[in-house]
Amino acid sequence: MMQFMAIRQQLLTQIDRGLLAPGKKLPGERQLAETFSTTRVTLREALAVLEAEGRLYRRDRRGWFVAPTPCPYDPTQLSDWQEYFGPYGGQFVWHAQTKKMADAAISDHMLLPPFGQVYEGEGRVCIEQLPVGWIRTFLHPDFFPTVWETGDKARLEHTIRTNRALAMAEVSWSSAWEALASSQSGGLEVAPGTPALTLTRYWQIPQADTWQTVRIDQEWWRQHAVVLCGRSTNQKSGSAQ
């Protein structure tokens, strides 16, 4: 067995036996390398494997930590993030809310007129004060006319429950793994290039003889944060409907 895999197995055994509890910070890389009589390069290979498996996570400039049990996440559920992750100790906070001209891709999906505007919001999900999810959502202004009136207290679930058309919405979604750009990595407090689970959701309601897209969600999740559940998923380019 290659040395980094042997180190990975020893760390994993301690995690599984409860000797390294969720949230516990590991000793520094230099100390760990000395403990395992290896180089820091080999040690980092082992840590990177455990990070990819969702058993460890890294905080920029703070070191390595044991990952908690991931939250089950069904992307077909028609609720906002505070509603969904609150029972798991999560908190969702909006960081920006704007109304601006939609770019070509959003405009095409939402069938907006030329120079049509869209509501855009960005926010973050934290669990036990650790940023685990960065969210960007686009809302069709005809169906969410008052969504930002309550500012950073806005809850999309309330709008859905009080709008009969939105309550009939269906969701299609796709997921992929990708390296984080700086615009998302800062919100998650990780280095640019860190792998993350990305999720894109399209909310559609029946309109006459077609389906109208009323909301688009783009989400970036730390590797250990969530496990997708519910209906089947097709990674990279597929969707569950």
What are the angstrom distances between the C-alpha of 8 and each of 44, 47, 59, 239? 10, 7, 19, 33
Distance, CA of 169 to CA of 69 (rounded, Å): 31
Specify whether the CB–CB gap between 122 and 96 falls below 8 A: yes
Question: What is the pLDDT, as a whole number, of residue 231?
Answer: 58
Give the sign of the dihedral formed by CA 65, CA 66, CA 69, CA 73. positive
Tell me the sheet residues that pair with 240.
173
The residues, any chain, with a CB within 8 Å of residue 216's CB and separated by 6 or more, are 106, 109, 110, 137, 138, 200, 201, 202, 203
Number of residues that make up the chain: 241
Is the predicted pLDDT of residue 73 greater than 70, yes or no? yes
**Residue 212: which region, alpha, beta or left (left: phi > 0; alpha: psi -120 to 50)?**
beta
Is the predicted pLDDT of residue 167 greater than 90, yes or no? no
The residues, any chain, with a CB within 8 Å of residue 98's CB and separated by 6 or more, are 119, 120, 121
The whole model's pTM is what? Answer: 0.85
Nearest by Cα to 136 from 99, 165, 97, 162: 97
Joined together, the tokens standing for residue 89 give: 């100790």
- Across the chain, mean pLDDT equals 89
The model's pLDDT over 9-39, given as tens digits with 9 standing for 90+, comes to 999 999 999 899 998 999 999 999 999 999 9
The CATH number of the structural domain formed by 3-66 is 1.10.10.10
Of 77 and 124, the one with more pLDDT: 124
Specify whether the CB–CB gap between 206 and 233 falls below 8 A: no
Question: What is the pLDDT, as a whole number, of residue 238?
Answer: 39
Given this structure, which CATH class describes domain 71-228? alpha beta
Of 77 and 27, the one with more pLDDT: 27
Domain boundaries, the chain: 3-66, 71-228
Joined together, the tokens standing for residue 43 give: 């040690």
